Amino acid sequence: MPEIKKAIIIGAGPAGIAAAIRLTKHNNISCTVYELRPVPTTLGGAIGIPSNGLRLFDRLGLYNALSTKGSVASRFRLHFAQGGGVVEADVIPEEVRQKTGFSLMRIKRVELMDVLLHTASEMNIPIHFGKKIVTITEDDEEDTKSNSSITVTFSDGTTDSADLLLGCDGIHSAVRTQYVDPSCQPEYSGVSGTCVILPTSALSAESHESLQAINVSLTTEGAFALVPCTAAGDELFFVFSRKVPLPESGDTRDGWEEHRKKEVESFKNMLLDGVLKDVHGKWGEVLTQAVNGTSSVSFYPVYRLPLGGRWFRGRCLLMGDAAHAMQPHAGQGVSMAVEDVFLLSRLLKDGEGGDTSLSEVFEKFERVRRPRIDRIYETAARNGERRKQTGPWGLWAKEWVMWAGILASKAIGKQVTFISNPEDLVYDIDEVEI
């Protein structure tokens, strides 16, 4: 394989910055990051990172910093909307904790990015904002054994060339749509979320201790979750996700903007007068307090990429959401991106000085990653189906099926998990056979 001295990384999100840190430290590759937005983004609510991802953040040297910012509360409470009952379990099985040394972290996206960007700055990794891609060209796309290069041209007239180009620019990736796989376009999952980050102090003091857990409730209209998202437990992530039809508008963007205005403007009334009237007991009171304590609301339709898209071309590889964006309902989006990063780093290291071409490295990357990505993708899609609207009897059936499943698992000594299978949570990309 030709020596990889320099990499251009498009996208300054979690995938891009993690790739720059790992390749700089482990592979001694000089990385330069380019980001479309003019400043670091503050978009997004709270992100879940389970044990398989936390282990890799620890190997990046970032876990201690993240643990000062994110919540590691992993107790799961399912609140029965109609009966007021509660069933509890741990979202991360004990066997997973023992094997990995990690559980689950919920952290605000802005805090995750602060840690990543601070580390990149300390390592003197250049990050350039406000850079829009115009073209991507290669000296010889078919020859990935020689020391030729790939060049990116930006809208401000500047260019940069490197031995390797990584597209880490998310679901709407310019690298994918302009170069690697223009035919692969995002599709609407059918689920949308309305979310808020609010201070814990907005709720009554007697409920604070019980809120240091992942609290979930199914309703006839969708699903609520109220979870801590800071280490201090002083802020909560409150989300209501449900099935929302694709807008009838010929311009989807305009249709979603209309949806957004309606959702945000009517959020409190819709929940208080509609959905929450069916949620009884103390939990209903807590949710009512959370709604009343809301000052700003975000509405987002959940998109994903169809499976089977192309991931590489020439000296260019897509990673993270740019390659395989999935629904957030398995809590694995960021972890899948970091697994991509570690596998690429490992393959590049193994190929040093050998007779392997860069395209062969990418082919091996794809062979290893596709089965796992497909499995997690399908898990996320199935979990998203729980957000479907249903009648009172359908809701009753959902609740009691979940309750019976938890009790049956406990009775036979099986660990319960609600996001991914235990084997997916203990998966170690550094140990998988390649």
- 409 is in which domain, residue-wise? 43-106+192-303+400-433
Give the residue, 19 or 194, on which the prediction is more confident.
19
C-alpha dist (Å) from residue 260 to 117, 222, 233, 249, 257:
30, 17, 29, 14, 5
pLDDT classification of 122: cutoffs 50, 70, 90: very high
Helix (H) or strand (E) run with residue 24 in it: helix 14-27
How much is the average pLDDT of 222-232?
90
How much is the average pLDDT of 135-162?
87
- Whether 404 shows a pLDDT value over 70: the answer reads no
Q: Is residue 119 part of a domain?
A: no
Both 288 and 198 in one domain: the answer is yes
How much is the average pLDDT of 365-387?
90
Q: Domain with 252 in it: what CATH number?
A: 3.30.9.30
Both 96 and 209 in one domain: the answer is yes
**pTM to 2 decimals?**
0.91
Give the pair of three-digit tokens for residue 272. Answer: 């208080």
Angle between helices 333-351 and 358-384 (to 10 degrees): 160
Both 274 and 314 in one domain: the answer is no
Give the pair of three-digit tokens for residue 422. Answer: 């235990």
Give how far the C-alpha of residue 99 lies from the chain's centroid of Cα atoms, to the nearest Å: 23
Q: Is residue 5 part of a domain?
A: yes
pLDDT classification of 281: cutoffs 50, 70, 90: confident
Both 285 and 215 in one domain: the answer is yes
Q: Is residue 254 part of a domain?
A: yes
Both 71 and 173 in one domain: the answer is no
The predicted structure's pLDDT at residue 79? 81
How much is the average pLDDT of 130-140?
93
Both 341 and 203 in one domain: the answer is no
Q: Domain with 33 in it: what CATH number?
A: 3.50.50.60
Q: Which amino acid belongs to residue 9?
A: I
Both 53 and 157 in one domain: the answer is no
Q: What is the pLDDT of residues 378-387, one digit of tens each?
A: 999 988 876 5
Number of domains in the chain: 2
Q: What is the pLDDT of residues 332-358, one digit of tens each?
A: 999 999 999 999 999 999 988 777 889
Both 33 and 168 in one domain: the answer is yes
Which of 79-93, 95-109, 273-287 shows the highest mean pLDDT? 95-109
Q: Is residue 393 part of a domain?
A: no
Both 260 and 312 in one domain: the answer is no
Both 268 and 347 in one domain: the answer is no
Both 285 and 348 in one domain: the answer is no
